[in-house]
Amino acid sequence: MNKIRVFISSVQKEFAKERQMLFDYLMSDPLLGLFFDPFVFERMPAVDHSVQNVYLKEVEQCDIYLGLLGRSYGYEDEEGISPTEREFDHARQLHKTKLIFLTNHRDEDRHSKEIDFIRKVEGLVVRKEFSSFSDLKVSVYTSLVRYLEENGYIRTSPFDATFNKKASMDDLNVQKIKDFVVVARRKRGFPLSEDAPERNILTHLNLIQDDQLTNAAILLFGNQPQHFFLSSHVKCAHFHGTEITKPIPSYQTYKGDVFQLVDQAVDFVLSKIDLEVGERAGSTQAGTTYEIPKAAVAEAIVNAVAHRDYNSNASVQVMLFKDRLEIWNPGRLPYGLTPEKLKKPHSSIPANLLLAEPMYLAGYIERIGTGTGDIIRWCKGAGLPKEPEFIQEDFFKIIIWRKDSEVGATGQATGQATGQATGQAVKNSIPEETLRSIRKIVHIIDESSTREELQEALELKGRDNFLKNYLYPAIEFGYVEMTYPNTPNHPGQRYRLTGKGFELKKDPSK
């Protein structure tokens, strides 16, 4: 087998030691040494040709361009361009795989042209910071092993496609499978019916083979997925300020299958952000608009749950601050895909394809490969102050910036009213978060509504979440009442405002 050629590029004087150590490491590592043939200029024999031309020729012959960037820009040719940047540009033009490793120096410690070079690189490839050779070695190892996996040199099944030897059909919820098929048939024309044998449905979805279940089957339809994958839950937190501080005002850890995780996390965010209620325009329900589009919240959370690294001991984290929403996903972008490229049309490379496809069939993913672009478009259409940000660090992070926090549930500037209402809440022992939910439900009730109508108006999927965080508190504190108070489960049960509820709807400060 021909070895994979790795061209190690850097400013010669700054990284002379690191280049040699990397060369020795790649040659001696039991795994990497089998596949990779590193090149460093120190190993090049004396030649009569132009040194720069020789280097560019080596770039042409390599499979991977590995660049080390630090403080110095290095020697500049007659056009003011360093050999390192020339080599990078050449690798880019030839569509070579590019791995960039960057020292963690501050910009003020770098040459101005090196800063410009780094900015150019950041827009084109994923780069990883390092502070020591030990850090560099680990990062290079991880990157090269991933290259081997993604290019088929070593065979390991993706997590979601791996068969789980401890699981059986008894660990799956048959009703969940049937409910999924009903939705998938309605939304995407799924060919099988809910009456089809469960094994046939799972086989069609590539989730079972010879009675062996994949990890994806458990995450999608398991009775207790966290029994098999401890970190597959989602942590949600709400902070009143702009920083992570303790005690945390509102914190939840959600468990369940991937559909439940998404629903619960989305409902958590919607319960904490502002809601604008429009005119009814002939309908019994007023139109509602959240300050952050629900579609953008859902897409970001679906992205995190569907594409995360399930081998990681970390979990998906959803954090709402006064000025932004952050969704952290323990995973990394595929080779060739950068945060900057996510803002433009790009190919879809799902990290967990067997998870992503059923989530698409169930309507949780609208169009595979367009999610990040849709998030940007939805947020722009909602008039949010800044474009969403996509950041690849140890976690993949999506940041969605919120509107002015002074805009409240009535869709008008209600900073003073909100403050007065909060003060009244404290006086009446109503928690601030509970009051926010009560105000939302009060503003969407006209004459009377069913539980389903109210839940749909608020765009909430979780029935238990709606009852616990919205309807029951509104009834408990006397803002909403049942039309059949003595028969809570009456088939004709509806909900209407009390006199106290009408007063709050008319004047949020009361």
Question: In the prediction, which pLDDT does 29 show?
Answer: 87
Q: In the structure, what pLDDT confidence band is assigned to residue 347 with cuts at 50, 70 and 90? A: low
Mean pLDDT of the chain: 86
pLDDT in tens, 421-436: 444 544 457 777 788 8
Is residue 333 one of the residues assigned to a domain? yes
Q: Are residues 222 and 242 in the same domain?
A: no
Instruction: Please indicate, yes or no, whether residues 109 and 212 belong to a single structural domain of this protein.
Output: no
- Residues 51 and 183 occupy one common structural domain: no
Average pLDDT on 170-177 reads 97
Q: Is residue 409 part of a domain?
A: no
Residues 180 and 145 in one domain: no
266 located within any domain: yes
Question: Based on the structure, what is the number of domains in the chain?
Answer: 4
Find the CATH number of the domain harbouring 490.
1.10.10.10
- The predicted pLDDT at position 46 comes to 47
Question: 146 and 163: one domain?
Answer: no
Structural domain range at position 202: 159-227
Confidence tier at 411 by pLDDT (50, 70, 90): very low
Same domain, 259 and 330: yes
Q: What is the pLDDT of residues 225-258, one digit of tens each?
A: 999 999 999 999 999 899 998 888 889 999 999 9
Of the ranges 64-68, 153-157, 458-462, which one carries the lowest mean pLDDT score? Answer: 153-157
408 occurs within a structural domain: no
* CB 356, CB 350: distance < 8 Å: yes
User: Domain check: are 221 and 255 in the same one?
Assistant: no
CA distance 238 to 244: 9
Output the pTM of the full model. Answer: 0.68
> What pLDDT, on the 0 to 100 scale, is given for residue 417?
41
| Strand ranges, E, within 85-126 | 97-103
Question: Do residues 240 and 356 share a domain?
Answer: yes
**Is there a single domain that holds both residue 14 and residue 145?**
yes
Cα distances (angstroms) measured from residue 44 to each of 38, 47, 250: 12, 8, 61
Answer with the one of 104, 121, 150 that is the final residue of a domain: 150
Q: Which long-range contacts (CB under 8 A, 24 or more apart) does 350-353 make?
A: 350/306, 350/307, 351/158, 351/306, 351/307, 351/308, 351/309, 352/158, 352/159, 352/160, 352/216, 352/306, 352/307, 352/308, 352/310, 353/158, 353/160, 353/161
Report the CATH number that the domain containing residue 273 is assigned in CATH. Answer: 3.30.565.60
The 10s digit of each residue's pLDDT in 83-137 is 999 999 999 999 999 999 999 899 999 999 999 999 999 878 867 888 888 778 8
324 and 449, same domain (yes or no): no
